[in-house]
Copies of this chain bind each other. A is one copy, B any other.
Amino acid sequence: MTNSQRLRGALAPVVTPFGVGLRPDAARLARHCRHLVERDVGLAVFGTNSEANSMSVPEKLALLDALVEAGLPPARMMPGTGCCAFPDTVELTRRAMHHGCAGVLMLPPFYYKGVPEEGLFRFFSEVVQRVGDDKLRVYLYHIPPVSAVPITHKLVERLMKAYPKQIAGMKDSADDWAHTKSMIDAFAKDGFDVFSGNEKPLIDNIKSGGAGCISATANINPGKIAETYKKYATPEGEKLQGWINEVRGVMQGYVMIPALKYVIAHYGADGAWTPVRPPLVETAEAQGKDMIAKLDKLGFTMPGLKQAMAVAAE
């Protein structure tokens, strides 16, 4: 597999709608995924913003099956498969491979803290060896503010040496461009694709040799983020970068996951989007209205979303 067939550009850690009894709503998720793919945004389903760790393994397997059955392209998918227990990670990764997903995004086991690099190396080794597929493309998920278990340069180096085919890249959600750049500088030359964890450094990422971004806000601002990626080398791209950063800036003032759902419910005219699973809590109305007012002021819209979600009423 050459780099040209690899995932690049903008991906969204797709938010997961929950219906009656807080059950995952596969049909509504598929509609949102289609809306994203039509705007050239890839599907990092089962990420942090997807509330993936608030779902059981059987729930995630069923959702992935449903998305593929709904005709969404596995070649544009990078499902999150990293759990605390390696048998769970292996099972989810195998299913992703079965469907031909382009890659998987893999959290380190995140219950124990301060674990040795050797232990993390063994975890990823167990998974790669048990899945046993040369087509596997693992993107390591560095998100210390949430997982509290970092992926170090040394660990990446060891894993790339041991599994040069399967260790494909990283999502860096440390929200520190200097750190992302250090990963690109160290490993991009060997085919390691580094995605920024949000769109703020998108153009810098591409110009430095990175692969793009996997960003929460790509759920609500897919078209403009994807356009920024395509036009990164142009003055128009620079202008777009400024605007998407303003949208991101508004969203960072709120608790991200419920806020994204509030925005989708609002611009999609589909209130069924708001529920979150505990331990998260929905955005309060007053906060939500404040957020929408700020977005409106930026000229923010979600073109096509209302039509995409209206299928629900059929």
Listed in ascending order, the chain A residues whose CB lies under 8 Å from chain B are: 22, 48, 53-57, 59, 84-88, 91, 108-113, 115-116, 118-123, 125-126, 145-149, 277-281
Contacts and interface: CB of A to CB of B under 8 A. Distances in A.
A284 to B, nearest CB: 11
Given A146-B112, A148-B148, A281 B122 contact: yes
A57 B116 CA distance: 25
A277 B278 CA distance: 29
A110 B109 contact: no
A115 B280 contact: yes
B86 A122 contact: no
Contacts of A22: 86, 126
B85 A55 contact: yes
A279 B123 contact: yes
A111 B56 contact: no
Contacts of A279: 108-109, 112, 115-116, 119-120, 122-123, 149
A247 B111 CA distance: 26
Contacts of A119: 278-281
A252 to B, nearest CB: 14
10 contacts: A48-B111, A53-B84, A55-B85, A57-B57, A85-B277, A108-B279, A110-B111, A113-B148, A119-B278, A125-B278
Contacts of A116: 279, 281
Contact of A278 (B53, B110, B120): B120
A280 B145 contact: no
Can you tell how many copies of this chain the complex includes?
2
A279 B109 CA distance: 7
Contacts of A56: 57, 85, 87-88, 91
Nearest to A113: B146
A119 to B, nearest CB: 4
B59 A87 contact: yes
A271 to B, nearest CB: 19
Contacts of A123: 278-279
Nearest to A125: B278
Given A115-B281, A121-B278, 10 more contacts: A53-B112, A59-B85, A108-B279, A112-B146, A116-B279, A118-B281, A122-B281, A123-B279, A125-B278, A148-B148
A194 B149 CA distance: 30
Given A87-B59, A111-B110, A113-B148, A278 B122 contact: yes
Nearest to A149: B279
Given A59-B87, A113-B145, A278 B126 contact: yes
Nearest to A124: B278
A126 B147 CA distance: 24
A14 to B, nearest CB: 17
A32 to B, nearest CB: 21
A41 to B, nearest CB: 24
